[in-house]
Amino acid sequence: MSVSRPLVELHPADEAFNRGERVVFNLYVISALVILVLMMLLGLTMRLAQSTWLGVPLGVFYQLLTAHGAGMVGTIGLASSAVMWFFLRKYVRLSLSIFAANYVLFMLGAMAILAAVFIGGYAGAWTFLYPLPVRSMSVWSTNAAALFMCGYLLIGVGFLLFYLDAMRAIIRVYGNLGRALGLRWLFGGEIDKTHSKTVVASTMVAITNSIGVLAGAVVLAMCLVNIYVPSMELNALLVKNLTYLFGHMFINASIYMGVIAVYELLPRYSGRPYPVSRAFLWSWSASLVMVLIVYPHHLLMDYAMPFWMLVMGQIISYTAGLPVFTVTVYGALTNVYKSGMRWSMPSKLLMLSMFGWAAGIVPAIIDGTIGVNKLMHNTQWVPGHFHFYLLLGVLPMVLALLYHVIGQRVPRHAGHQVTFPLFVVGGLIFVFSFLAGGSISTPRRFAEHLPQWLAYDQSGAIGAALVIAAMLLFSTQLITGLMRSKARVGPAHAAG
Amino acid sequence: MITQHVVWVLTLAGIGIVALTFVYVLANSGKTADAAVTTHKAYSIRRWWFIALIVFGVAVTYLTLTPFPIGHQGALATNAQMVDAVGRQWSWQLSRNEVRAGTPVQFNVSSVDVNHGFAIYGPDDLIVTQTQAMPGFTNRLLHTFTRPGTYRVMCLEYCGLAHHAMVAQFEVVPADNGGQP
């Protein structure tokens, strides 16, 4: 019997930073950690207000709702793009300038959004569903709505640049995007086992989220024209379709970028090979198509939608779970089973991320059933399932990479041993409170709640407080470790 | 049987199965075995797991889409009680405030300003059905009430400052012939 041994060293030389890379990577992830904690505090404030444990004016509540949604979606996208960049630069020559430009544009966009919300009073939710931004009943000005949308556009331009650069770099090495996806091995032929999973996932994300971001840019441009030329009215259903294509794609891209950390790091901690397979290539190719056409499951209650799109929304919601359950999570569990796993913070977070993703998909898939959606749509069931796979799925993917990067430079403190269990327990209390609230028809996005809904609001607030405590401990350790890390001199990999 | 309760139990069961699978694998992660043997065995099981999911998914799809849970949008329901529901920031206007149990009700739902969510809450404060109210479109929501009582309409699509206060009420009265249509 052969005993598992490490396949590669934990910290290969081609992942080391030069000075510029270290600065930009740290800017990304430290900013992301700080913003995530701040956004969590906004979320906690809302749960406290719903619990009646804290008095928050109505206008402020919906401003917090808007800032929290936009801030969380954008920041988890920023953090997971750092994951993709960190690993992809080993295989193709990415432009550090464009990666930095994405960061600058993100920050400019974030400032515009914050100004629109907290100075302009914009509270039209992160989904900016037409025509709410221009019909606020004088609560906010149209200029505030336009500033919010311009902030989105700046962020979208940054991400588009990043993806275009990734596709350019991938094509330069692999010839075309189809070869990078491994399409030639779908129906036969001997698969090159050294073909990088990172390249496959990055190619898929670059293609799909470029389309998603472009859909967002189109709908934002349409809405901006409508703001200043109100006579040019828009088709509300068309706008809704484009908005959810963009929103669904963007948040899913975060998962697909984050999971690269699992593919790259898990075999190093398990000591088991985790090579590319035909099932893997099929799952990513199928996901490429499905992630673009599944968004109608957000519009199942829009009966004016074409019949076939509603049916497709349900069916693709089901099938989109297959690659997760049968390839990525199943593969990760197989990789770990009887491997003599080295348990440390990165490996624990990686496995948590797999659990959060797989478990969170269960209520999401069930809600994708039209008959169920008639009872659960826009209740707290929805934040229940998306917080499950974002808080306990994607965020641990990012944290795993950061703990891996800082390696042994983890400053110890009294609470070191409790941080991980605190995060898990707090996270589970938090997401199950949402799901339980949804099961009794508690609406989402309500500033004031009925007495029968308060118990789950209060347990949710307690869960959120525990998560924030854990995140403060995580962030302190990580930021200290990242600041202590050193850059090596001279490039050792393909990154430009 | 209350559907929300079924959904809740199914969800807990599904998450429980996922959790138990993880616990089993993690409990065995410290042991060592030949990687090739473990992988070969696991991937053999995966083939059947994949087929099982496909079969299960096809069956659930057929059962949940037959009959299609959304009423036909192109034609008026015959013998239905008609209710026009119009949403505006921040109130609902219903063309009638009383309907009979046992006979289908067709709600013609629209909006004069922004997107709203037309969700009907039963006497037990659980949602019985819903649709969206969208400017420029009319969604036809068909529902047969079985339980008399006071029902509430709440807005479930965020529509601005008083979104949570956008509530209307109507009565479902017993059918003339004891609840039969």
CB contacts < 8 A, A to B, total 233
Q: How do the pLDDT tens digits run along chain B, 181 residues long?
A: 899 999 999 999 999 999 999 999 999 999 999 999 999 999 999 999 999 999 999 999 999 999 999 988 887 778 899 999 999 999 999 999 999 999 999 999 999 999 999 999 999 999 999 999 999 999 999 999 999 999 999 999 999 999 999 999 999 999 875 444 4
Contacts of residue A232, defined as CB under 8 A and 6 or more positions apart, other chains included, come to A225, A226
Q: What average pLDDT is seen over chain A?
A: 94
Secondary structure of B48-61 in the HEC alphabet?
Answer: HHHHHHHHHHHHHH
ipTM: 0.96
Instruction: Report the gap between the CA of B78 and the closest CA in chain A (Å).
Output: 19
**A164 at B interface, C-beta within 8 A:** no
- DSSP 8-class letter at B97: S
Distance CA A270, CA A382 (A): 34
Whether residues A131 and B114 touch (CB distance < 8 A) is answered with yes
Four-CA torsion A425, A429, A431, A434, nearest 10 degrees: 180
Structure tokens, B39: 């992988």
Contacts of residue A298, defined as CB under 8 A and 6 or more positions apart, other chains included, come to A244, A247, A248, A313
**A141 at B interface, C-beta within 8 A:** no
* Disruptive mutation site among A378, A385, A456 for chain B (greatest number of B CBs within 10 Å): A378
CA nearest neighbour of B155 among A387, A57, A448, A300: A448
What does the pLDDT read at residue A426? 98
DSSP assignment string, A101-143: HHHHHHHHHHHHHHHHHHTT---S-TT--TTGGG-STTSS-HH
Which chain B residues are Cβ-neighbours of A273 within 8 angstroms? 35
Give pTM, 2 decimals. 0.95
**A363 at B interface, C-beta within 8 A:** yes
Predicted confidence (pLDDT) per residue in A205-236, tens digit: 999 999 999 999 999 999 999 999 999 999 99
Which chain A residues are Cβ-neighbours of B34 within 8 angstroms? 1-2
Distances (CA, A) of B72 to A479, B68, B106: 57, 9, 11
Predicted confidence (pLDDT) per residue in A27-49, tens digit: 999 999 999 999 999 999 999 99
Distance CA A268, CA A401 (A): 12
Structure tokens, A257: 């970028």
Which chain B residues are Cβ-neighbours of A305 within 8 angstroms? none
Q: Which of B50, B156, B161 sits opposite A59 (nearest CB)?
A: B161
Burial of A425: CB neighbours in 10 Å, binned 0-12, 13-18, 19+: middle
Cα–chain center distance at A52? 30
* Mean pLDDT, residues A177-185 taken together: 98
